[in-house]
Structure 1
Amino acid sequence: MQISEKSRQLHPRRFSRLRRLLIISTSLFSAGWTASAAAQEVEPPKVVPTVEAPATGPIAVPSPPPPEAVLPEVAPIIEDDEFEKAIPPIGAEDDPELDRPLESIAEFEQRQAAEAAKKPADAAVTSTVEAQPPVVDGVPLPALADGDTVEPIGDAPITDTELAAPLPPLENFNVEPVVFAEAEDPDANREVAYTVQVNGLAPADDSTDVDLADLFGDLSALYDGDGKADNAAMVRARLSADGELMQRILSSEGYYDATVNTRIDRTARAEGEGGNAQAGAGGNRGNRGPLVAVIDVVPGKRYTFSDVIINAAATVPPGLIKDNFPIAVGEPIVADRVQGAEAAIALKLPEEGYPFAKVGQRDILLDGATGDAVYTLPVEIGKRSRFGGIETTGDLAFDAEHVEVLARFKRGDLYDSRKVDDLRQALVATGLFSSIAAEPQPTGESAGDDTEYVTMLVTQDAGPPRTLAASAGYGTGEGIRIEGSWTHRNLFPPEGALIGRAVLGTQEQGIGATFRRSNAGKRDRTFELVAEATRSNYNAFEALTGRVGFRVSRDSTPIWQKKLTYAYGAELIATSEDDYDFTLGRRNRDFYTILGLTGQVGIDRTDSLLDPTKGFRVTTLIQPEGSLAGRFSPYGRLRIDASGYYPVTDSIVLAGRVRVGSILGAARERLAPSRRFYAGGGGSVRGFGYQQLGPKDPNNDPIGGRSVNEAAFEARYRFGNFGIVGFVDAGQVYRGSTPTFSDLRFGAGIGARYYTNFGPMRLDVATPIGRKPGEALVAVYVSIGQAF
C-alpha cells in the first residue's frame, strides 16, 4: 500500500495512528486466524451479546454442525505464547500519542497558523522548497493532476531523465529505428531447406489411369516450392494446404474413409556437410539438417459402384441415355468420370431432339461395411422437338429473315443444339453485335411423331458498326507501305458495308472504295463492287491505274475458316504504264485497256488461317483476259499455289510451299507490265529485292515474264509468344509461257516472330546465295502474318 506525501502532511498524529493500526491488523490477519481456530477446539464456547443490525434484508448465517457430528481435532498452527509475542505492544507507555484525543481540523489549522506566525523566515523557506518540484539529473519532475509530483517506482530512485520527462503529444510522437549493436549480415542465407515425404499413398491400378502421386505432385504447394522456403512457418503453411489437398484428391478417387496426417521432422546434418547455420543463440542449430515435411496417408477402402440407376422417361431411340453414359457397375468412384458422364448426357440429349433436357442432382449411397456405392441420377428429358420459326428481339442489326439466311436448318428438322451453336457462331462472325444469344422457346404446337415445334429466339445487341484499321510493312526494294481503311459494316442493312481504303508508301499510293454485301442471299456468300485508283513506281514499271470490278466469293475469315473457298468476277482496267522497248532502245509509255474474268478455287485443311501448324492448302487461279487497245488480244493467266505444314513437336513446325504460274496466248510485249509475272521480295523469294528476279533490260531493271516458279521451306520454332524461323527460298521468272525450273536463284535467312492474338508479327532477314553484282547483301522484310 502507498500513501501520498499529501496525506502525511495533513495530520502527522493521525497518520502515525493509522500506520500503527494497519500493522496490527496485518499481523492479526496473518497469524491470529489459525490460532483462533485452534482455540475453538479446546475452549468452551463463549456467549457473545447479540447486537441487532439494521433491517437491511436477510443475512446468510452458516448452519451449525449437527450434534452427533464428530469433528476432527485440529492442531494449532502456532502456540498462544508465540501469537502474543507477535502482537506489537499498544499503550500509552509505548506511544503517548495513542492516548491523546484527536483534535479537530479547525484546531489543527489554527495551531499550524500560529506556529507559522512565530517562524516566518522558516515558513518562507519551507514554502519555497515545497513550491519547487523535485529535480532529477537537472530535470524537474512533472506535477500530477492534483498537484503532487511524480513519485519514484517502488524504492528505486529515478536516474533516467527520459522517465521523468513528460510524454510528447501523440501527433508529434516519432518512432526512431532500433539500431542493433551488431549489424545483420546481408549475405546470410535465411532460406529453410526441406524435403517432402509421402507415406502410404495407394499406387495406380488398372481401374483408373490416374496416378495419385503424379496428380498430387502437379498440384502440391510443397513441390512447387522446390524444397526452399523463407522460414519454417511457410513450410508448415504449405504442409497444411497439401494435407487438405491430399484429402480432396483421395476423395475424388473414391477413398472416402482416408485419413491424412502431417508433421515436420528434422534430419540430422551429416558430419562434414557444409552449411552456413550459425551457433550461439541457436544452440546446436548448426547440426540440424533440412526439414522433412511428412504426409502420412491411410487410403482405406476404395468405394465402387454396385448399381447405377438413371431415373428418366423413355427416349427415342430407347438407349440414348444408357449408350452415352460411360459409368458401369464395378468401377471405382472417380469424380472426373462421374462429372464427365453427366455432362455427356446433358450435351447428347439436346443434340438428339431434346432441347429442354435437365440433369438433376446425383445421389450416391455408400455402404461403409462393403465399400459399395449405389448411384442414382434423375434426368428430365423434356419434350422431343423440331425446329419451327425464328424470332428476334433486342437492339436489332437485321431482321429475322436474314437470320434464316444464316441458319443451317429449316422448319421441321429435328432439333440439334450443334446447329444452334453454328448459327450463334455465324452471327458473331458478322462483327455487328456486342452480344448475341439464340435460345429455343416451346410453342406447344404439335409437329407429329410425338414431337412439337420450338421457336428460336435470337436476342440481338447491336455493336458499333464503324471500324478504323491500319497496317504497315517494309520490304527491301518495296519500301515502306502503310494502308488504312474506314468501314461501316451495316450502312445498307442487312450486312451492307461501305469501305474506304487508302495506301501510302514509298513506291505505291492509292485510294479506293468498296461496297460489300456479306451473306448475300446465301450463307457465306459475299458480293463486292470495287473502284480504285493507284500510282505505282517500281523498277519494273511506273503506272497510273484505274480499276472497277465485281466479285462474288466464299472466303475464309479469322473467325470463320472454311475448308472450301471460291471466287469469280470480272474487272475493267485502264492503265498507263512504261516499258522498255528493245526496238527503240529506251523506255516507252503506253496505254492499256484490259477486260478480264476471274475464277478461283481453294481447299484449306489447315488448323489456322494466319498461323497454321498442320494440314495443307491448295489454291488455283484462272484469269481469262484481253486487251481492248487496237485489235482484241485474248490470253489467259494461270497460277497454282500449294503449301503444307507438319508439326514435328509442339514447338517445332516444318512448312513448305510451291507456286507455278503461266500466261498463255500472248507475247510478252503485248502484255501490260503490271499483268506479267515477277518474283522476289517478302512474299516471294526472300533475299532479293521486290520483283528483281527474271529477265532484265539493259539498265538492269526487271521486265517480267510469262511464267514463274517458286519454292520455300521453313523450320519454325516457337517458345511462348516468341519464335525463330530459319528458311530457304528459291524461284525464277522466265520469258516463255512454260516454267523450265532451271537457273533457280536461292535465298536464305532467319526470322523472328512475335505472336499476338490476331496473328504473328514477322521480321525476316535474308541474303542471296551466289550473289551477283548489283544485288543487295541483306534484305529485310517486316509484316503481319507468316510468310505463307
Structure 2
Amino acid sequence: MVKLMPWGDLGALLPHGFSVASVLALALSAQALAAQDAAADNLAGQDPVIDEVPAPPPGVELPAVEPVISNEEFQKEIPELDPADDAELDAPLESIDEFERRVAAEQADAAPTEGQEAPLGDPALADQDTTEEIGDAPIRDAELAAPLPPLGEFDVQPVQIAEDETDQEVTEVAYSVQVNGLEQADEEADTDLAGMFNDLSALRDADGKAANVAQVSARLTEDSALLKRILASEGWYEASVNTRVDRSEEVNGQPLTAVLDVVPGTRFTFAKINLDAPPVEPSDLLEKNFAIQAGEPIVAERVQGAEAKLAVTLPENGYPFAEIGQRDILLDQDTGDGIYTLPIDTGPRSRFGGIETTGDLAFDADHVEVLSRFERGELYDSRDVDDLRQALVATGLFNTVSVTPERSGEDAGDGTEYATILVEQEAGPPRTIAGSAGYGTGQGFRLEGSWTHRNLFPPEGALIGSAVAGTREQSVTGTFRRSNAGKRDRTFQVTAQALHSDYDAYEAFTGQLSALISYDSTPIWQKPFTYAYGVRLIGTNEQDYDPATADLRRRTFFIGGLTGQVGIDRTDSLLNATKGFRTTLLVEPEGSLQGGFTPYVRALFDASAYISPTDSIVLAGRVRFGTIQGIDRFDLAPSRRFYAGGGGSVRGFGYQELGPKAQVPNPDFDPTDPDEEDSPFLIRPIGGRSVNEAAAEVRYRFGDFGVVGFVDAGQVYEQSLPQLSDIRFGVGLGARYYTNFGPFRFDIATPINRQPGESKISVYVSIGQAF
C-alpha cells in the first residue's frame, strides 16, 4: 500500500544536510547526464536509446552539446556526509510494521495536553485513533432505539416525479429524395428499377419526414444497400452508390435533400450456358425448355424462372425423380461475362405403375384408380398426378391426402422403369349440415336445410336428407347419390320427394320418384360438355282453372317420363362468367294418365354469352325458347306448363306472372261487407305451351363490389310454338358483392307498361349471377 502525504512532509524523509532544492537540482543534473550518455552511446555505435534519431553520415561532425550543469557546480551542491550518517545509510530498512508503530507513537506524543479542549467536546476523539467504536454509549434518540416495523407493514410512498409544465414540441426534419445516375440502367432493364426502388425505399416510405438528420442518414444507408441489391438482381454486380445529405438549396420546398448518386458499372451477361445432366429423351428436352440463352443479361428473376420451368418440365415428360442442383455463375470482372453451370440429376425415365394407398382410408386403391386419368404403362406425367390429387380433394372425404411417385425398380422396357403412385389418406368427417336462404317477389322467402353423409355406402355413396320451408313452397326430399360411379365425374342418384306448392298459378300436392345419371361440371372441373339422362314418376293433385266453368277445381295427374339433357360450356366460370358462351338443351318425353294416356314432349333451349371489353366491365346476354308438343294445355298438369317472370326469368315481374291469365272469383271477397276493399275477382296466371325470354346486362366491378344494369324481356303463349309477340319488358339495377364461392346478388326491377295486378317494384336476392 502506498501512503501519500503533503509536500510539507517531504523534508522529514530527506537525509540530514539535504534540502528540497538541492535534491531537485540533483535530479535535473542526473537527467541531463543520462541524456549525454545516451548520445555518446549512439555515436559509439551501441544500441540506440532513441530510435528516431538517425546516425550522421560519414564525415559529418555533430555540434558540441553544452551540459545543463557543469560537474564543478554539481559537486559543489552535494553536501558533505557525516560519518554517522554513512552508518545510517548502510543500515537495513525498517519493516512496514515497525514504520507504522513508530509513526503512531510520534502522533501520540503530539496529543493535546491537559487543559486543551478535546475535538467536538468528546475526549474519545482526542486519542488520535482513526477508528471509533460506539460501544455502550447511550442513544438519546427514541426513534433510533425503536424496533424496525415488519416489511408487510412498511409504508412505502411512491416517488412523485414532477411533470414538466412546459410543452416540448417534437420538431421534424423535412427532406426530399434525389436519385442520380439510375436513368441509363432503367432504360436497359426490362423492369422499372426506379419504380421498384420507390416501392421499397425507406426514405420514400417515410413521406419526407424524419425525427432528425441522423435518421435521414440511416435511411440513406439502408436505401444505398437496397439500390445495390436491385441493380445486382438485374446484372449490375459492381454498382456503387454514394450518399449525402445536401443542405445547399431547397428542392421541392424542402431544406434538406437526401441524395443517392448511382454508378451502375458494367452489366454482366451470360457468355456460356452449361446444363450438366445425363442424356435425356428427347435429346433436346433440357435446352428446349430452358428459357435463358447466351448473350442475355444475368437477371435473377429470369434465372429462377428458367430453373423452375425445368423443375416442372422434367416430371411432365417422364422424369418424376429429377432434382435441380445448386447453380454456379462464374463472373469475369474484366470482360463482364458470366459462365452459368446448373447440375441436374434427372433420375430414371419412368412410366405409371400400380397405385398403393395407406393411412386412415376413405376408400381403397381400386376406387383411386377410377379417379385417375392415366393407365399403367403410360409415360409418367406429373399433370395427371396433380389431377388425381384434385379429384381426391373434391370428394370432400379427407382431412389430408397426398399423391407422390415412388421408385419401384421394376423394368418397363425402353430404358424406363415403373413408378408406383402412393396415395396417403387421412379420412375426415363425412357428415355435413348446410343451409341457404333467399327471397323473390312472387316466391316469397325460402329456407332450405340439408344433412349429408357423403360416404355412408363406400365408396362415395352418400345419403342426403333435405327440407324446404318457404312462404310458397314446403318439401321433404331424400336422395341416394353415388359419385364417380364406375367412371370419373359420373353421378348416379335416386330421389324421392314430397312437395307442396302454393303459387298464384296453381296449388299442388306432389309426390315424385326419379333416377338420374349425369356427367356435370364441378367447382374444380368445369366440363366443356355435360349430359344427363333418367326416368321420372310423378303423382300430383293440383288446383287448376277450368275454362268450361270459369272456376277453379282440383284434379289428379299421374305422369311418367324420361329426361335427357346435353350442355356445352365454354365460359371461364360457373357462377361468374366473364367471357365465352354456354348452351343447354333439355328434352323430356312424358305421358299423362288423366282420363287416358296422353304422350307429349317438353323441350327447352337456353343460351348465354359473355364479353369483357375491359377488366372491370362484362357484357352478358341470354335467350331461352321452350315448346310443348302433343297435348292441349288443359290436359297438361299446371305444374308441367311453361311460366315466365321472376329472378331467374324476366325480372320486374313476379314469379310465374307472365303469360295467359284467367279472372277467377276471389274467395276472400265478402259482398255483404260495406267496408270490403278486396277485388271480387283475382287475376291468375294459367301457363302456356311455349315461352321465349331474353336478357341483357352490363356488369361493372370495382374490387369486391359491383353494379349491374339490366333489361329483361319475355312472354308465355298458349300456342305450342313461341310467337315472338306481345313481349313484356322489365328494367332494373343490381348490386354485387363478390365472395370466394360466387357473387352475392341483390336486384331491384320494375315492369315497363305495368298491367293491373303487377307490382311496381320486384326484389331478388340470391347467390350467383342471374345467368
**Both proteins in one fold, TM over 0.5:** yes
Q: Distance in 1 between matches of 2:118 and 2:770?
A: 117
- 2:594 and 2:635 in contact (8 A); partners too: no
Q: Distance in 2 between matches of 1:316 and 1:67?
A: 90
Corresponding position of 1:322: 287
Q: Secondary structure of the residue that 1:492 maps to in structure 2? A: coil
- 2:185 and 2:264 in contact (8 A); partners too: no
- 1:555 and 1:565 in contact (8 A); partners too: yes
Corresponding position of 1:280: none
Q: CA RMSD in A?
A: 3.8
Per-residue Cα deviation, 1:504-541 (whole angstroms, up to 9, x for no partner): 11111111110000000001100000001111111111
- 2:186 and 2:193 in contact (8 A); partners too: no
Amino acid at match of 2:110: L
Kindly indicate whether residue 242 of structure 2 is the aligned counterpart of residue 265 of structure 1.
no
The structure 2 residue matched to 1:417, chosen from 357, 371, 382, is 382
Corresponding position of 1:441: 406
The structure 1 residue matched to 2:692, chosen from 700, 709, 730, is 709
Amino acid at match of 1:478: Q
Q: Distance in 2 between matches of 1:645 and 1:99?
A: 117
Cα distance change on mapping 1:44 and 1:23 into 2, 3 Å: closer
Corresponding position of 1:700: 683
Per-residue Cα deviation, 1:107-157 (whole angstroms, up to 9, x for no partner): 999997899xxxxxxxxxxxxxx9689xxxxxxxx99xxxxxxxxxxxxxx
- 1:558 and 1:610 in contact (8 A); partners too: no
Q: What is the Cα deviation at residue 353 of structure 1?
A: 0.9
Amino acid at match of 1:741: L
Q: Secondary structure of the residue that 1:709 maps to in structure 2? A: strand
- 1:203 and 1:211 in contact (8 A); partners too: no
Unmatched 5+ residue regions in structure 2? 14-18, 43-64, 70-105, 125-138, 145-152, 664-681
Further displaced range: 239-248 or 252-261? 239-248
Kindly indicate whether residue 257 of structure 2 is the aligned counterpart of residue 249 of structure 1.
no
The structure 1 residue matched to 2:428, chosen from 436, 450, 463, is 463
Cα distance change on mapping 1:171 and 1:352 into 2, 3 Å: farther
Q: Distance in 2 between matches of 1:784 and 1:177?
A: 64
Cα distance change on mapping 1:26 and 1:480 into 2, 3 Å: farther
- Alignment of structure 1 residues 749-764 onto 2, 5 Å: 749-764=732-747
Q: Distance in 2 between matches of 1:68 and 1:225?
A: 71
Corresponding position of 1:569: 534
The structure 2 residue matched to 1:522, chosen from 487, 493, 496, is 487
Q: What is the Cα deviation at residue 184 of structure 1?
A: 6.5
Aligned length: 669
Corresponding position of 1:37: 24
Kindly indicate whether residue 727 of structure 2 is the aligned counterpart of residue 719 of structure 1.
no
Q: Distance in 2 between matches of 1:581 and 1:340?
A: 74
Q: What is the Cα deviation at residue 778 of structure 1?
A: 1.3
Corresponding position of 1:102: 110
Corresponding position of 2:296: 331
Kindly indicate whether residue 347 of structure 2 is the aligned counterpart of residue 364 of structure 1.
no
The structure 1 residue matched to 2:581, chosen from 605, 609, 616, is 616
- Alignment of structure 1 residues 587-606 onto 2, 5 Å: 587-606=552-571
Q: Secondary structure of the residue that 1:38 maps to in structure 2? A: helix
Amino acid at match of 1:777: K
Corresponding position of 1:543: 508
- 2:11 and 2:20 in contact (8 A); partners too: no
Amino acid at match of 1:388: G
Q: Secondary structure of the residue that 1:701 maps to in structure 2? A: strand
Percent of aligned positions with the same letter in both sequences? Answer: 59
Kindly indicate whether residue 755 of structure 2 is the aligned counterpart of residue 768 of structure 1.
no
Corresponding position of 1:156: none
Q: Secondary structure of the residue that 2:196 maps to in structure 1? A: helix
Amino acid at match of 1:178: E
Per-residue Cα deviation, 1:54-106 (whole angstroms, up to 9, x for no partner): xxxxxxxx99977967998669xxxxxxxxxxxxxxxxxxxxxx999334999
Q: Secondary structure of the residue that 1:669 maps to in structure 2? A: coil
Cα distance change on mapping 1:378 and 1:43 into 2, 3 Å: closer
Q: What is the Cα deviation at residue 235 of structure 1?
A: 4.7
Unmatched 5+ residue regions in structure 1? 1-17, 46-61, 76-97, 116-129, 134-141, 144-167, 274-287
Kindly indicate whether residue 764 of structure 2 is the aligned counterpart of residue 785 of structure 1.
no
Q: What is the Cα deviation at residue 269 of structure 1?
A: 4.8
Cα distance change on mapping 1:266 and 1:644 into 2, 3 Å: farther
Q: Distance in 1 between matches of 2:370 and 2:113?
A: 114
Q: Distance in 2 between matches of 1:44 and 1:267?
A: 58
Q: Secondary structure of the residue that 2:512 maps to in structure 1? A: strand
Q: What is the Cα deviation at residue 753 of structure 1?
A: 1.3
Q: Distance in 2 between matches of 1:595 and 1:730?
A: 33
Q: What is the Cα deviation at residue 429 of structure 1?
A: 1.0
Cα distance change on mapping 1:552 and 1:231 into 2, 3 Å: farther
Further displaced range: 488-497 or 446-455? 446-455
- Alignment of structure 1 residues 275-424 onto 2, 5 Å: 289-424=254-389
Cα distance change on mapping 1:373 and 1:768 into 2, 3 Å: same
Cα distance change on mapping 1:101 and 1:514 into 2, 3 Å: same
Question: TM-score scaled by structure 1?
Answer: 0.78
Corresponding position of 1:730: 713
Amino acid at match of 1:295: L
Q: Distance in 2 between matches of 1:547 and 1:34?
A: 135
Amino acid at match of 1:215: M
- 1:199 and 1:297 in contact (8 A); partners too: yes
- 1:207 and 1:332 in contact (8 A); partners too: no
Q: Distance in 1 between matches of 2:221 and 2:38?
A: 63
Amino acid at match of 1:661: G
Q: Distance in 2 between matches of 1:733 and 1:172?
A: 91
Amino acid at match of 2:178: Q
Corresponding position of 1:91: none
Cα distance change on mapping 1:736 and 1:237 into 2, 3 Å: farther
The structure 2 residue matched to 1:180, chosen from 138, 148, 165, is 165
Corresponding position of 1:151: none
- 1:257 and 1:299 in contact (8 A); partners too: yes
Q: What is the Cα deviation at residue 552 of structure 1?
A: 0.4
Cα distance change on mapping 1:600 and 1:247 into 2, 3 Å: same
Amino acid at match of 1:637: R
Amino acid at match of 1:706: R
